[in-house]
């Protein structure tokens, strides 16, 4: 509407300008001025209403903002034109209307960028189907909305359908495609007891799934909320723009008043006092300053989400850009998280009995070491009965009460705390799981894990970025040192409890380091919280994901390097935007005050500056 009416208005204005230089019949001139007023009025009071209302609210709240500058400039030009209309002067309705039109055009471009950046959220939410096949106790199938599903219910998913929410396979086996959710390119085989994510595609066979999360709490929904929250949270550097704007707006209002007074008293025939003051108000509108940080954060977080990287906010994105030290957990983070049993060392019982006992206490645990032990027991076809009431001791191991007494499975520290005498350490690079029952030592299971394929390259990349690296592991110092030497980490600390990891992080912070902690287990949650930025990878525990500031939705360490690189690029773009916004205002204000810029030129320059800031931020979407 504003653009259409402004185009009509410019036609009338061009005719008036031509008549001003070449002469025009007074009656025709008066008629054209009335037409211009009729066209400009809806632009000012309809299209420009958001600015007028915003300016009025800022006056009522006594907090001057950019809407106030726009409103003052537009109303001054419109009011002066009305006065000239009734007293045979020159009208500037085109100035008032074009200020509104050009600013709205800039905001339209900004909103287009915002929608583009947020499109990834919509695509995520559209993955999950609206309807699901719910099974009742008798096995009958009913079509219901996916949003109505509750944890514990069962659903039937046919080949070619998407899983309505997160759950675990209860019957049947199939291959799934979860590339849209996590980026995993290859189909994954899922058997009974294994988890599936809502929105992933069933490829081969019908399966029955037990719902583990309601649709609103599914992985896809949680990721979408994370992205939305990230785009809403401000980066601390935004405070610079906010503080400057709070002082800048009233200062510019005073400068505009001084400009009008100066040119009014000077009586210069070359400069219209009102137009010079309006130009000052318009050119100084800090739209570009207000867009400098939010647009960059918005585009960067949207781009990151498409690449499987989730910053929990603009503040986290900025903190990530400033990191200079990275701490890593070992198992499941730098390694694949699929430890293999390499040796069984029983003491007084058979190897199969030791392995079956360990699998019984580890059966319900999601720790990678527990998974490796249970996998080895299945491969040997050992009978395993999961123990009830197993207690987890983060960073140490598990305990459970049995008929033979207290069963312990875990590190040397756990058994030593219960007075168990242990043999000398075994293979230097292996992780040890010791077992004891009723005060008697049963033996040790040794597991080894392979580094992730990308780990060495990522550590090398961090070194090039001048980020020092430290390995913090609950495993033995020997096992940690071997892995650190293989990957090229700078420091290694072994045999650490969760509290010890926090202590090491605080020690680094006290030394002036800005620390990133990367982990995936329950025992990493305190350290993730203690660090400036905590990072967890998809596939870790829920508590690790909930404690983290940066989430990698794909179990790919390369994403960590990409996250740091994108954060640094984003901070650089924000600084460029702020420099441009400040430089533009400092350069243009004197020109407007000197009468060298007409209000319409000032509005165009202000709109172009905002477009430049948004366009510069959009470059982050291509990196």
CATH number at residue 499: 3.40.50.1000
Position 89 in a domain: yes
The domain spanning residue 164 has which CATH number? Answer: 2.70.150.10
Q: Are 419 and 380 in contact (CB under 8 A)?
A: no
Res 603: pLDDT: 60
Residue 226 lies in a domain: no
Q: Which domain holds residue 455?
A: 308-335+451-567
Q: Is the pLDDT of residue 211 over 60?
A: yes
460 and 472 housed in the same domain: yes
Looking at per-residue confidence, does 232 or 352 come out higher? Answer: 352
Residue 491 has a pLDDT of: 93
Query: Region 395-407: what's the mean pLDDT?
Result: 89
Is position 552 within any domain? yes
DSSP-based three-state secondary structure for 360: helix
Q: What per-residue confidence (pLDDT) applies to 544?
A: 47
Q: Read off the pLDDT of each residue in 381-406 and give the average, rounded to a whole number.
A: 88
Q: Classify strands 405-410 and 431-437 as parallel, antiparallel or unpaired.
A: antiparallel
**What is the arithmetic mean of pLDDT over 112-139?**
69
Last residue of a domain, one of 448, 465, 496: 448
Q: Are residues 237 and 114 in the same domain?
A: yes
User: Quick one: angle between helices 287-306 and 314-321, nearest 10?
Assistant: 80
Which of 421, 448, 475 is a domain's end point? 448
> Is residue 80 located within the same domain as residue 68?
yes
What is the number of domains present in the chain?
Answer: 4
Higher pLDDT, 14 or 296: 296
Tell whether 490 and 558 lie within a shared domain.
yes
Last residue of a domain, one of 191, 217, 243: 217
Catalytic residues: 329
Q: Is the pLDDT of residue 239 over 70?
A: no
Residue 250 lies in a domain: yes
Answer yes or no: do 195 and 282 share one domain: no
Strand partners, 145: 131
78 with 145, same domain: the answer is no
* Contacting residues for 557 by C-beta, under 8 A, at least 6 apart: 334, 452, 454, 455, 458, 537
Same domain, 513 and 583: no
Residues 320 and 469 in one domain: yes
The verdict on 72 and 143 lying in the same domain is no
Q: In what order do the strands lie in the sheet with 533-537?
A: 309-311, 550-552, 533-537, 515-519, 325-328, 468-472, 491-493
In this predicted structure, the answer to whether residue 234 has a pLDDT above a threshold of 60 is no
Instruction: Give me the percent of the chain exceeding a pLDDT of 90.
Output: 21
Supply the CATH number for residue 355's domain: 3.40.1110.10
Residues 58 and 83 in one domain: yes
Pick the most confident of 14-18, 78-82, 105-109, 479-483: 479-483
Whether residue 398 is contained in a domain is answered as yes
Does some domain include residue 225?
no
Residue 223 belongs to a domain: no
pTM of the model: 0.62
Supply φ then ψ for residue 502, to 5 degrees.
-60, -40
**Most confidently predicted of 116-120, 321-325, 594-598:** 321-325
Provide the 10 A C-beta neighbour count for residue 150: 11
Q: Are residues 114 and 249 in the same domain?
A: yes
Residue 589, domain member (yes or no): yes
- Whether residue 116 is found in the same domain as residue 238: yes
């Amino acid at each position: 509407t504003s653009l259409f009416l402004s185009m009509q208005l410019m036609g009338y204005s061009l005719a008036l300008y031509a008549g001003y230089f070449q002469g025009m019949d007074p009656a025709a001139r008066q008629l054209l001025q009335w037409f211009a007023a009729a066209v400009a009025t809806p632009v000012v009071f309809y299209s420009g209403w958001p600015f007028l209302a915003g300016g009025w609210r800022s006056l009522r709240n006594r907090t001057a903002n950019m809407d106030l500058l726009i409103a003052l400039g537009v109303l001054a030009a419109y009011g002066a034109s009305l006065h000239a209309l009734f007293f045979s002067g020159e009208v500037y309705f085109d100035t008032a209307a074009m200020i509104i039109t050009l600013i709205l055009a800039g905001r339209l471009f900004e909103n287009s960028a915002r929608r583009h950046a947020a499109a990834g959220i919509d695509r995520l939410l559209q993955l999950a189907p609206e309807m699901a096949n719910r099974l009742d106790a008798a096995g009958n199938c009913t079509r219901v909305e996916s949003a109505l599903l509750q944890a514990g219910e069962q659903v039937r998913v046919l080949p070619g359908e998407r899983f309505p929410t997160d759950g675990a396979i209860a019957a049947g086996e199939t291959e799934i495609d979860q590339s849209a959710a996590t980026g995993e390119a290859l189909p994954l085989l899922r058997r009974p007891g294994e988890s599936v994510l809502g929105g992933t595609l069933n490829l081969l066979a019908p399966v029955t799934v037990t719902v583990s999360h309601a649709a609103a709490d599914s992985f896809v929904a949680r990721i979408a909320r994370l992205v939305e929250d990230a785009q809403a949270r401000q980066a601390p550097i935004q405070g610079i723009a906010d503080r400057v704007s709070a002082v800048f707006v009233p200062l510019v209002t005073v400068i505009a008043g001084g400009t009008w007074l100066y040119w009014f008293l000077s009586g210069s025939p070359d400069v219209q006092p009102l137009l010079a003051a309006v130009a000052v108000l318009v050119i100084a509108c800090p739209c570009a300053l207000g867009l400098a940080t939010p647009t960059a954060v918005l585009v960067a977080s949207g781009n990151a989400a498409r690449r499987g990287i989730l910053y929990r906010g603009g503040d986290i994105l900025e903190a990530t850009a400033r990191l200079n030290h990275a701490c890593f957990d070992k198992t499941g983070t730098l390694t694949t998280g699929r430890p293999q049993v390499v040796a069984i060392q029983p003491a007084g019982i058979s190897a199969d009995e030791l392995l079956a006992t360990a699998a019984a206490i580890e059966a319900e645990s999601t720790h990678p070491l527990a998974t490796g032990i249970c996998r080895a027991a299945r491969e040997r076809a050992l009978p395993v009965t999961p123990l009830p009431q197993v207690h987890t001791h983060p960073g140490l191991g598990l305990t459970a009460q049995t008929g033979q007494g207290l069963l312990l499975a875990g590190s040397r520290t756990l058994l030593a705390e219960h007075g168990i005498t242990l043999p000398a350490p075994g293979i230097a690079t292996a992780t040890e799981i010791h077992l004891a029952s009723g005060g008697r030592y049963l033996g040790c299971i040794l597991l080894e894990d392979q580094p992730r394929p990308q780990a060495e390259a990522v550590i090398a990349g961090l070194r090039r970025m001048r980020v020092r690296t430290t390995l913090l592991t609950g495993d033995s110092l020997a096992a940690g040192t071997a892995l650190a030497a293989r990957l090229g980490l700078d420091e290694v600390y072994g045999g650490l409890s969760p509290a010890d990891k926090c202590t090491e992080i605080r020690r680094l912070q006290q030394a002036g380091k800005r620390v990133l902690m990367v982990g995936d287990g329950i025992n990493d949650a305190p350290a993730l919280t203690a660090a400036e930025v905590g990072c967890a990878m998809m596939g870790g525990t829920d508590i690790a994901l909930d404690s983290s500031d940066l989430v990698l939705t794909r179990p790919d360490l390369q994403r960590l390097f990409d996250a740091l690189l994108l954060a640094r690029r984003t901070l650089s773009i924000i600084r460029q935007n702020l420099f441009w916004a400040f430089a533009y205002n400092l350069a243009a204000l004197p020109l407007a005050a000197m009468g060298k810029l007409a209000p319409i030129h000032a509005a165009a320059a202000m709109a172009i500056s905002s477009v430049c800031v948004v366009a510069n931020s959009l470059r982050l979407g291509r990196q």
